[in-house]
Structure 1
């Protein structure tokens, strides 16, 4: 049940949700890229909070270990939570995708305006770990969206003739979320190692 091949196969069952997740993430990046006014202030606060955390982590004894532990637990906990938070009609996964996309779009655009190159920001700063981390977060949100869709479908079929099929659908889906959660944690563990070692060395180097 927890095989990687099972995880990949399960992704096919949420294909539409994956497409929506990618679209929402791209929309978030686009909005962040052109954001001004109150939205810009919101994103600056988000980035400021991350900067404060980064500064605190650098004050510890083993800086890279501190970064690894923070990155891994922060991403893993949020990603698993966003799957099951989808029970609230998929609203939280939508917000999560948009905010993360906006932060990336705003950060890249703002940093480039201050003279940094696209290559340094994206290829060196984001790609080493982001090639794993970003798709995994999108997958987690897609399961959350699917969760919300199944909740809505269940409510609409409470009095319908097909309500007897809902139990089986929920059983299959919850099994898939368990498999997904395990592999999401594993993949984010790998991404956190890369970000706290390779990405850290490249950015600091």
Structure 2
């Protein structure tokens, strides 16, 4: 059940949710890129919180190990939670996608406005680990969206002729979420290793 091939096959079963996840993330990036007023203040608050955490980690010993632990556990816990938080009609995965997209778009745009090059920000700062991390987070949210869709469909069919199929659908989907959670954690572990080593060295080099 936990084979990588099963994970790939399961993603094929949620193609619609995957498309919506990518679109919502892209919308978030666009909103973050052009953000002004209250939205800008919100994003600045998010970034300030991350900056303070980064400064605290820099002051401790074994900085790269501390960054690895923070990055991995933060991303892994949130990504697994967002899969199962989809039970609330898929609302939380939508919010998660939009906020993460907005932060990314806002950071890249603001940093470029302060004179940093697109190459340094994207190729050195984001691409090494982001090529794994970002798609995995989007995939996790897609499973969360599918979870929400299953809840809605199940409620709609409770009194219909198809209610007998609800149990089998839930069993199949819960097996899919277990496989997805396993590989999401494994892939985010790899991304955290890259971010705390290669990305860390490139950004500070």
SS at match of 1:26: helix
1:6 aligned residue: 6
Instruction: Report the counterpart of residue 168 of structure 2 in structure 1.
Output: 168
Q: Distance in 2 between matches of 1:139 and 1:201?
A: 28
CA distance in 2, matches of 1:60, 1:8: 40
**Secondary structure of 2:2's aligned partner:** coil
Q: How much has 1:194 moved relative to structure 2?
A: 0.1
Separation in structure 1 between the aligned mates of residue 117 and residue 61 of structure 2, nearest angstrom: 32
Partner of 1:78: 78
- Quote the Cα distance in structure 1 between the aligned partners of 2:60 and 2:66: 7
Q: Provide structure 2 residue ranges, at least 5 long, that are not aligned to the other structure.
A: none
Q: Residue 28 of structure 1 aligns with which residue?
A: 28
1 CA distance for matches of 2:93 and 2:83?
7
Aligned to 2:18: 18
Q: How does 1:120-199 map to 2 (within 5 A)?
A: 120-199=120-199
Length-normalised TM-score, structure 2: 1.00
1:39-68, Cα deviation, whole Å (9 max, x unpaired):
000000000000001001111110000000
Aligned residues: 205
Q: Give the Cα separation in 2 of the matches to 1:59 and 1:14.
A: 44
CA RMSD in angstroms comes to: 0.3
* Alpha-carbon displacement from aligned partner over 1:67-116 (angstroms, at most 9, x marks no partner): 00000000000000000000000000000000000000000000000000
Runs of 4+ in 1 over 2 A off after TM superposition: none
- Give the alignment's TM-score, normalised by structure 1: 1.00
1:53 aligns with 2:33: no
List runs of 5+ in structure 1 lacking aligned partners.
Answer: none
